[in-house]
Amino acid sequence: MAITFRQLEHFVVLAEELHFGKAAKRLNISQPPLSASLKQLEQALGYELMVRTRKLVRLTPAGGVFVEQARQILEKLSAATAMGRDVASGSAGSVSVGFVPSMLFRGLPALLRRFEETHPQIALTLCEKNTAHQIADIQRHKVDIGFIHSVPLPGSLAEQRMGAEGLVCCVPRAHRLARLRRIDLKRLADQKVIVFSREFAPNYHDKIVALLKASDVEPFLGYDVQHWLTVVALVSQGLGVSLVPRSLALSGIGDVSFVDITARNAEHSVSLVWHKEAGNEATAFFVAFAQSYGLFTGAGRSLP
């Protein structure tokens, strides 16, 4: 005969009350079903759990041991039920978040910190990856969420785009152009203008190269650089100048200045992306939180 959780619940309450009438009232059942439940449990175990006389009800030694184990079983069941419910609703679980380095200066740390404070039951894992790698990993369900440079996406991914920010010219602090408030890109014609490798962000590489060539400026492609921060670090060491997102002025890298440029449509934006068939309710929960946090502009596309 199988033991049921209901029988364990009945026995635990009866052991706490040591009175069939009070236990039945607490369980919102009548006394006969309670007595039958105890008898069935004892039959399944093969030994008595309680001694019942006209004057008292008490636990047998075996019952005293068994009630503690039964209580633990019920507590674990309750915890498992709650955890399963939270995961199913998206309010618990885990979310893996990919990000490009420039997101460190566009509010991502504050968003993650706030999310962890308000949703400690959802574990976040972080991985720094370039845009192409994030897109590939999200398509393969290896990463749940990606903060990428905004690029055309495959149809399997959904997107929430952040507002655009202008590109600025990053120059060494002692450079002659650092004294200006705004410059025309034509003034970079005699400069070594560093551009990150096309392999890691082809859309933005092509956009910056096009901006430069429209002003008759030839980009310097001699450095195989993967990230914006590396570009700024190279500029700080006097190895060239570059066009970078304005938010990198918050990077804290010394010995550089950021100067506005006159070029039109010289903008950079970042998007939050995820798989349309995420399969992870916590991912939808995180997306909803991020959308309400204020990092983004526009309606975006929500999870189905």
pLDDT digits (tens, 9 = 90+) for 195-219: 988 887 788 888 899 999 999 999 9
Q: Could you give the CA distance from residue 277 to residue 279 in angstroms, rounded to a whole number?
A: 6
Taking a C-beta distance cutoff of 8 angstroms, is the pair 123, 117 a contact? Answer: no
Instruction: With CA atoms as reference, report the closest residue to 185 among 100, 242, 117, 142.
Output: 242
Q: What is the CATH number of domain 93-163+269-293?
A: 3.40.190.10
Domains 93-163+269-293 and 166-268 share a fold: yes
Pick from 23-27, 159-163, 218-222, 270-274: least confident: 159-163
pLDDT one-digit tens code per residue, 54-82: 778 899 988 889 999 999 988 887 776 76
Kindly list the domain boundaries of the chain, sorted by start residue: 5-89, 93-163+269-293, 166-268
pLDDT > 70: percent of the chain:
91
Q: Is the pLDDT of residue 39 over 50?
A: yes
pLDDT, mean of residues 81-91: 62
pLDDT-derived band at 99, boundaries 50, 70, 90: very high
pLDDT-derived band at 164, boundaries 50, 70, 90: confident
∠ CA 87-93-96 to the nearest 5 degrees?
Answer: 140
Q: Could you give the CA distance from residue 232 to residue 195 in angstroms, rounded to a whole number?
A: 11
Q: What is the pLDDT of residue 284?
A: 85
Q: What is the pLDDT of residue 86?
A: 62
Q: What is the pTM of this model?
A: 0.62
Question: Mean pLDDT score of the chain, rounded to an integer?
Answer: 86
Q: Which CATH number fits domain 5-89: 1.10.8.60, 1.20.1250.20, 1.10.10.10, 3.40.50.10140?
A: 1.10.10.10
Category of 63 on φ-ψ map: left (φ > 0), alpha (ψ -120 to 50) or beta: alpha
Domain spanning 166-268, CATH architecture: 3-Layer(aba) Sandwich (3.40)
**Of residues 278 and 27, which shows the higher confidence score?**
27
Q: Is the pLDDT of residue 91 over 90?
A: no
